[in-house]
């Protein structure tokens, strides 16, 4: 199972990039899916420089069924059936509930939840054909609890965990497992955007805002993208065959 085809959405930066690098280091051929070519190409070059193999699939819009179907078909044609699917594309804008308009709500759910549905549905037949298939959805601790000012994000990630559990039961008698990984506050460009927003709205420094987020983790720090990636590396291995339908928090004890 070590050298198989893995497709990662949102693979150009942050957690998605870390996942792609970890899977490549494990020996997988990695299809890097995302909307923008440049960051995906940079990740591909890094993988190839380390002796791995990766392919870029840019213009991959998880909110558009046609784009998803074309991207999945292209990845299969280039690297054979997809044995490992990691849904990582996501967005986390913040706004008070009363200022969360319908456009923001629909955009967040479209990317974070409907995107997981569209990509998984398009890839599932291929994952079945590959045998010992693995589907991992990157959710969030926001899918396990609530946070203020990110109601759309929380709703979308709760939905991802519900979808994960339902599909895991549907596929339980097959050789496909379906799990979710739920990072806490993680040191990524997504957090950088949140820090900018907090600083702008409260007048606090970015360093103070970062310290506040770190304190949510009982370990007193932000999670690293690599820690999330290593969890996924284990979940897609043969060592995790009996693990399915789970929502695993990678959050230093924030969620118990």
pLDDT tens digits for range 176-206? 999 999 999 999 877 777 777 777 777 888 8
pTM of the predicted model as reported, rounded to 2 decimal places: 0.95
pLDDT at 237: 96
3-state secondary structure of 97: helix
Q: Is the pLDDT of residue 219 over 80?
A: yes
pLDDT tens digits for range 56-89? 999 999 999 999 999 999 999 999 999 999 999 9
For 17, other C-beta atoms within 10 Å of its C-beta total: 25
Q: What is the C-alpha to C-alpha distance for residues 113 and 71, in angstroms, rounded to an integer? A: 18
Q: For the residues 40-50, what does the mean pLDDT come to? A: 98
Of 46-50, 177-181, 194-198, 214-218, the poorest mean pLDDT is in 194-198
Q: Is the pLDDT of residue 1 over 70?
A: no
With beta carbons less than 8 A apart as the criterion, state whether 129 and 108 touch: no
pLDDT at 2: 57
The topology under which CATH files domain 5-186+223-250 is Rossmann fold (3.40.50)
Catalytic-labelled residue, pool 4, 62, 126, 153: 153
Concerning whether 149 is annotated as a catalytic residue, the answer is no
Q: Is the pLDDT of residue 97 over 90?
A: yes
DSSP secondary structure of 136-193: EEE--GGGTS--TTBHHHHHHHHHHHHHHHHHHHHTTTTT-EEEEEEE-SBSSHHHHH
- Assigned token pair, 65: 């069924």
Q: How confident is the model at residue 207 (pLDDT cuts 50, 70, 90)?
A: confident
Q: Is the pLDDT of residue 113 over 70?
A: yes
pLDDT at 85: 99
Cβ neighbors of 166 (< 8 A, separation 6 or more) are none
């Amino acid at each position: 199972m070590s050298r198989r085809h893995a497709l990662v959405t949102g693979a150009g930066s942050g957690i998605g990039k870390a996942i792609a690098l970890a899977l490549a280091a494990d020996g997988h051929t990695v299809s890097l899916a995302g909307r923008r070519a440049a960051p995906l190409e940079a990740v591909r070059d890094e993988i190839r420089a380390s002796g791995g193999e990766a392919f870029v699939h840019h213009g991959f819009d998880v909110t558009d069924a046609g784009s998803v179907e074309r991207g999945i078909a292209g990845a299969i044609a280039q690297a054979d059936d997809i044995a490992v699917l990691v849904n990582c594309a996501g967005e986390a804008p913040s706004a008070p509930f009363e200022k969360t308009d319908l456009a923001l709500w629909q955009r967040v759910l479209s990317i974070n939840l409907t995107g997981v549905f569209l990509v998984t549905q398009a890839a599932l037949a291929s994952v079945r054909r590959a045998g010992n298939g693995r589907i991992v959805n990157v959710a969030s601790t926001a899918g396990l609890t609530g946070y203020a000012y990110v109601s759309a994000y929380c709703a979308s990630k709760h939905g991802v965990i519900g979808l994960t559990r339902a599909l895991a039961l549907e596929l339980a008698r097959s050789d496909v497992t379906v799990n979710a990984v739920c990072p806490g506050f993680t040191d990524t460009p997504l957090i950088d955007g949140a820090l900018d927003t907090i600083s702008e709205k409260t007048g606090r420094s970015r360093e103070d805002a970062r310290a506040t987020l770190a304190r949510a983790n009982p370990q007193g720090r932000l999670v690293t993208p690599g820690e999330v990636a290593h969890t996924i590396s284990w979940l897609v291995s043969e060592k995790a065959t009996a693990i399915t339908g789970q929502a695993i928090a990678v959050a230093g004890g924030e969620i118990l």
